[in-house]
């Protein structure tokens, strides 16, 4: 009997010590094996012409015929490396090309994450305890808002009790209409430039993992994230004397702010044969150092199905849905004047592959 019991413990220990495969998501408490090196690449996509839940009309109302909920094409590249059995590093780069207001916002996101496993015990209720230290930098080139149907509501938010209006390329102030021209006599249409699109975030995350079986792991995590950013708004062109006179009266302040994000989440992953199923939910609460009063919360759901094609090769299809668009993903988009433009449901699909130089288990 003792030999049978010892054999049972040996087999159980073997099953529980075998690391599961990282596929689509990386919010798991377990770490990579020492020397493991994976490359993940993917394509991201959303188009409101396939808006099966009719989100565009719900969110934009009368503007739905001329505006977009944010058609997006994107790419992702992630490197994963096991420094030791208890220490892993993840480097992720994403580029999102998002259409807004007659222009395209190209956001670049770089995230560097170090995950260290503090406790690993196959016989405790939670089998692993890990801690993440991470850095995120979101940045983009300036975005110019040119569509008058979006510009006029934006300007009325900036100066709600004034008669400032743009119409067919002209500026209407109270009862006076102004037209502006360049030195060659060409008529110029004013627009709003959003500049200094850059935010830097630092975070710490605590993760608890429970292996429900040799192929299924359940994780719980909580995160505290600090973000600092500066955004500048201006009316262009800023080298025109007529427009500068108007701008002096209707100046737009710049925005420096810090914000804190607190989240809790849960993730489950299971491997059935050659298939890996993943699901993640998290709730975010944002505390901003400004007058922002809306979009303080965000619910995020991610899910994916992956297939192990070969020993070193995984393909996956997944997606991400947010209750408040990019609220915690691109902080610089939010300020007193643009918060409602981005405060809507949003989601995108992703397909890609993972290549492991060490091979999947």
Can you give the pLDDT at residue 128? Answer: 93
Spatial CB neighbours of 181, under 8 Å, sequence gap ≥ 6: 187, 188
Can you give the pLDDT at residue 59? Answer: 46
Give the C-alpha separation, 126 to 209, whole Å. Answer: 6
Can you give the pLDDT at residue 337? Answer: 61
Can you give the pLDDT at residue 345? Answer: 73
Q: Is the pLDDT of residue 60 over 50?
A: no
Tokens, residue 221 = 């995590």
Tokens, residue 320 = 């991400």
Of 284 and 182, which is predicted with more confidence? 284
Q: What is the mean pLDDT of residues 260-277?
A: 94
Q: Is the pLDDT of residue 328 over 90?
A: no
Q: What is the mean pLDDT of residues 250-276?
A: 85
DSSP H or E segment with residue 62: none
Of 200 and 340, which is predicted with more confidence? 200
Can you give the pLDDT at residue 326? Answer: 67
- Count Cβ neighbours within 10 Å for each residue of 160-173 and write b for 16 or more, e otherwise: eeeebbbeeeebee
Question: Which residue is it, tokens 């490396």?
Answer: 81
- Residues above pLDDT 70, as percent of the chain: 71
Q: Is the pLDDT of residue 315 over 50?
A: yes
Task: Supply the DSSP string of 281-332, one letter for each residue.
Answer: EEEEEEEESSS--S--EEEEEEEEEEEEEETTEEEEEEEEEESSTTTTTSGG
Q: Is the pLDDT of residue 264 over 50?
A: yes
Please, are residues 329 and 196 in contact by the beta-carbon 8 Å criterion? no
Residue-wise pLDDT tens digits, 88-97: 999 999 998 8
Question: Which residue is it, tokens 């015929």?
Answer: 65
Q: What domains sit in the chain, N to C, each tagged with a CATH number?
A: 2-356 (2.40.128.130)
11 confidence band (pLDDT: 50, 70, 90):
very low
| 144, β-bridge pairs | 193
- Residues above pLDDT 90, as percent of the chain: 35
Give the C-alpha separation, 351 to 355, whole Å. Answer: 14
Q: Is the pLDDT of residue 80 over 90?
A: yes
| Nearest alpha carbon to residue 278 among 21, 18, 92 | 21
Can you give the pLDDT at residue 244? Answer: 59
Can you give the pLDDT at residue 63? Answer: 45
Spatial CB neighbours of 63, under 8 Å, sequence gap ≥ 6: 149, 150
Give the C-alpha separation, 304 to 278, whole Å. Answer: 5
Can you give the pLDDT at residue 7? Answer: 34
Tell me the three state secondary structure of residue 81: strand
């Amino acid at each position: 009997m003792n030999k049978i019991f010892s054999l049972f413990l040996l087999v159980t220990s073997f099953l529980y010590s075998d690391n599961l495969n990282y596929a689509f998501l990386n919010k798991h408490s377990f770490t990579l094996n020492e020397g493991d090196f994976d490359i993940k690449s993917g394509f991201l996509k959303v188009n409101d012409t396939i808006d099966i839940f009719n989100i565009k009309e719900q969110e934009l109302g009368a503007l739905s015929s001329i505006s977009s909920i944010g058609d997006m094409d994107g790419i992702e590249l992630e490197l994963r490396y096991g420094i030791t059995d208890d220490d892993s590093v993840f480097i992720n780069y994403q580029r999102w090309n998002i259409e807004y207001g007659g222009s395209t916002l190209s956001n670049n996101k770089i995230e560097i994450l170090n995950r260290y496993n503090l406790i690993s015990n196959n016989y405790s209720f939670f089998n692993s305890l890990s801690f993440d230290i991470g850095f995120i930098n979101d940045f983009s080139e300036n975005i110019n808002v040119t569509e008058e149907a979006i510009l006029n509501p934006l300007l009325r938010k900036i100066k709600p009790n004034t008669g400032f209006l743009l119409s067919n390329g002209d500026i209407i102030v109270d009862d006076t209409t102004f037209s502006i021209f360049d030195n060659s006599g060409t008529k110029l249409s004013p627009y709003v430039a959003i500049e200094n699109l850059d935010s830097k975030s630092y975070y710490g995350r605590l993760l608890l993992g429970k292996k429900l079986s040799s192929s299924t792991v359940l994780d719980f995590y909580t995160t505290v994230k600090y973000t600092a950013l500066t955004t500048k708004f201006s009316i262009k062109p800023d080298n025109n004397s007529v427009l500068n006179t108007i701008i002096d009266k209707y100046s737009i302040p710049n925005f420096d702010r810090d914000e804190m994000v607190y989240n809790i989440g849960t993730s489950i992953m299971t491997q059935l044969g050659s298939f890996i199923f993943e699901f993640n939910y998290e709730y975010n609460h944002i505390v901003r150092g400004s007058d922002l009063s809306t979009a303080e919360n965000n619910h995020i759901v991610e899910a994916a199905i992956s297939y192990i094609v070969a020993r070193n090769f995984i393909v996956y299809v997944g997606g991400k849905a947010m209750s408040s668009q990019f609220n915690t993903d691109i902080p610089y988009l939010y300020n007193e004047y643009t918060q409602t433009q981005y405060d809507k449901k949003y989601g995108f699909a992703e397909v890609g592959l993972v290549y492991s130089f060490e091979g999947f288990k």
